[in-house]
Amino acid sequence: MDVLKEGASGKAVRRLQRALGKAGHATAVDGDFGPSTKRAVKAFQAAKGLAADGVVGPATWAALGVRAQASAGGGGAGKLRLSPKGAAFIGHFEGFRGEMYNDPVGHATIGYGHLVHHGPINGSEPAEFKRGISRERALELLVQDANSAATAISSGVRVKLTQFQADALISFAYNVGNGAFGDSTLLKLLNQGDYDSVPAQLNRWTKASGRTLPGLVTRRKAEGALFREGRYMG
């Protein structure tokens, strides 16, 4: 789903305006993101406890209940993107930090694990990150960072996927790496049309350095439930 802000126009804006109206924050459905639409967005965000910045990113789309279109390719997965609900799903497991920090291997990081630059914080970071970021902005960065995993799913999967199935696999590839996903038995079985095997295959990926990690057990079970039933747990 597109990130929208004042000055945008087109079908996505009209979809936003209709969703705002259904949520009780009516604005003209004219396809133009003007001041009145921005006011409606900010009022909706404030009512939902979101950062009331008037920018419509993944968290706002998800709160509005607007779902991305399911993918349908010509015999394959087609070009996939992470949905707003998928971003929130991954964000739950990645954890949010609004201020910059050095990750366990010493790289400057912010939000839901977004890499600012290699090496520790040194004062050269963008002003935006020095000020700290909202959850909404962090989810936008997460969607950008997940593009690589979405591309890997689009390229590797040769069967059709629903959006929630795509979100589950993007979460998995984002976590374990595109190479691991591409070499996995999970992908081989899925491409044979064996959708039912995916949850069990996900459950095999729960170890790091030879140790089973409870957090990975929980994440894999949630990804399996999402793939199988469309349940955005987390």
Helix (H, G, I), strand (E, B) or coil at 31: coil
Give me 88's structure tokens: 């929130």
Buried b (16+ CB within 10 A) or exposed e, 104-129: eeeebbbbbbbebeeeebeeeeeeeb
Strand 114-117 versus strand 211-212 pairing type: unpaired
Helix (H, G, I), strand (E, B) or coil at 127: helix
Paired residues of 212 in beta bridges: 207
Active site residue 223: no
- Give the active site residue among 94, 136, 140, 223: 94
> CB atoms < 10 A from the CB of 211, how many?
8
Cα–Cα distances (Å) from 150 to 104, 127, 147, 191, in that order, read: 25, 29, 5, 16
- Residues serving a catalytic function are 94
